Structure 1
Amino acid sequence: MIPLALDPARVPIALAGNGPLAVRRLTQLREGGGDPVVYSPEPDGELIDLAGERLVRALPFTSDLDAVRVLFVMGLEPAVEKTLAEMARARGVLVNVEDVVPLCDFHSPSVVRRGDLLLTVSTGGRSPTLASLVRQRLETLFPEAWAERVSAIATLRDRLRGEKASMSAIAKATKELIAREGWLP
């Protein structure tokens, strides 16, 4: 596996599915800054509310996938999920079919967000439970205060870059700030 962090402002994402898994994935994508088109032939009330104007009450056609680079699929019949995965791949779209490892081009890690700090855990789809347990541990090690800490570090970095400091001087100042504040034991 190769870890990547995608910018949803640059990489068009779509979701195809129904049910609680679709709601959960859409929520995660939105938390990451995404606003995917949601294809759902049988959306429930929660998915309808969450997807809003981005909801299409059907599965995507092959031509719909031309505007997409990443497709998440879940909560559909296995044969439909397989067909969507094959259609997407034929168009050069990366696919993740929830809990169907052979149909996945990538796996979504468990995520801890603290402002701009993004911590992820992945088992390559081998044990979502383990990834979730490690994520829970990271949540305790990196509390919400880290959002402000990252912001303070970014402010320091921006100021030093504006003063034309070298990258090594910026790294040194950052390490000193973190040590002085005792943010990492």
Structure 2
Amino acid sequence: MDNQLFPVFLQLNQLRTLLVGGGNVALEKLYALLGNSPQATIMVVAKEINPEVRAYTVDYPAVHLYERAFDDTDLDGVDLVVVAANNPSLNAHIRQESRKRHLLINVADKPDLCDFYLGSVVKKGNLKLGISTNGKSPTIAKRIKELLNEALPEEIDETLHYMSQLRDLLKGDFTDKVRELNAHTASLLTSKRKHGRISK
């Protein structure tokens, strides 16, 4: 079957996330969530919370840790659920309760229980690229991420900044903006070619 996933970018800083689990897998989820959205509001619930989780989250005031067993009321008022607990019966229960509340859920290493995946992300300033193999091979997704990180220059963010300023200066509808942008780009290329011939 083809990859049926629909890629979206969530504004986690405007949502409330529940993370169930306090071990190494939960720490990986926190790396992914906070690495992309440092201002995300996250409630972490687990019977035991690793010292590494506590140490990592100390600089994130919007992350709240609760060292206790999960309760169904933890789902009240949240927008997104991430489960990193090594407990199949608990995973299934949280999945069931989340669906009752129409909450999207991700369960670590259980694709059949997931509404969404935390895929590999390439970040270069304001540029973000999401990579998904539909859960088939996280290793390949990680390798593609490494390749793109190496291939994309850090200066790409500066380019985005200038393109944003240029877009704001252009007038007309989308088609007009594309035409004018193409004209500016062509003019820049012509100038570079002339400069190249002169420098020889």
Cα drift, residue 111 of structure 1: 0.3
Cα drift, residue 174 of structure 1: 4.6
Tell me the equivalent position of 1:120: 130
CA distance in 2, matches of 1:116, 1:14: 26
Once residues 58 and 8 of structure 1 are traced to their aligned partners in structure 2, the CA distance between those partners, rounded to angstroms, is 24
1:72 deviates by 0.9
Distance 1:82 1:148 in 2: 46
Is the alpha carbon distance of 1:132 and 1:9 closer, same or farther for their aligned partners in structure 2, counting shifts above 3 Å? same
2:10 aligns with one of 6, 15, 30: 6
| Mapped pair 1:140 → 2:144 | no
Contact 2:21 2:45 in 1 (8 A): yes
Q: Distance in 1 between matches of 2:6 and 2:143?
A: 21
1:62-141 to 2 correspondences below 5 Å? 62-141=72-151
Are residues 75 and 62 of structure 1, via their aligned partners in 2, closer, same or farther at CA, if it must alter by over 3 Å?
Answer: closer
Q: For 1:140-181, what per-residue CA distance to the aligned partner results, in whole angstroms no more than 9, with x for missing partners?
A: 221322222222222222333xxx443234334555667748
- 1:97 maps to a residue whose letter is V
Aligned to 1:144, the other structure's residue is in SS state: coil
Q: Which residue number corresponds to residue 175 of structure 2?
A: 168
Identity, % of aligned positions: 29
CA–CA distance in 1 between the matches of 2:14 and 2:43? 14
Pick from 137, 154, 177 the counterpart of residue 164 of structure 2.
Answer: 154
Distance in 1 (alpha carbons) for counterparts of 2:81 and 2:64: 14
Structure 1: gaps (5+ residues): none
Deviation string 1:47-98 (CA, Å, 9 cap, x unpaired) is 0122345111124422221211211111432222222222222211111111
SS at match of 1:56: strand
Shift of 1:6: 1.0
Q: Is 1:19 matched with 2:14?
A: no
The partner residue of 1:51 within 57, 61, 81 is 57
Change (3 A) 1:71 1:167: same
Residue pair 1:115, 1:150 contacting (<8 A) in 2 also: no
TM-score normalised per structure 2: 0.78
Aligned length: 178
The CA RMSD measured in Å over matched residues stands at: 2.2
Pick closer, same or farther for the CA change 1:125–1:176 going to 2, 3 Å.
farther
Contact 2:120 2:130 in 1 (8 A): yes
Q: Is the 8 A contact 2:43 2:64 kept in 1?
A: yes
Task: Say if 1:38 and 1:51, in contact at 8 Å, map to a contact too.
Answer: no
TM-score by structure 1 length? Answer: 0.84
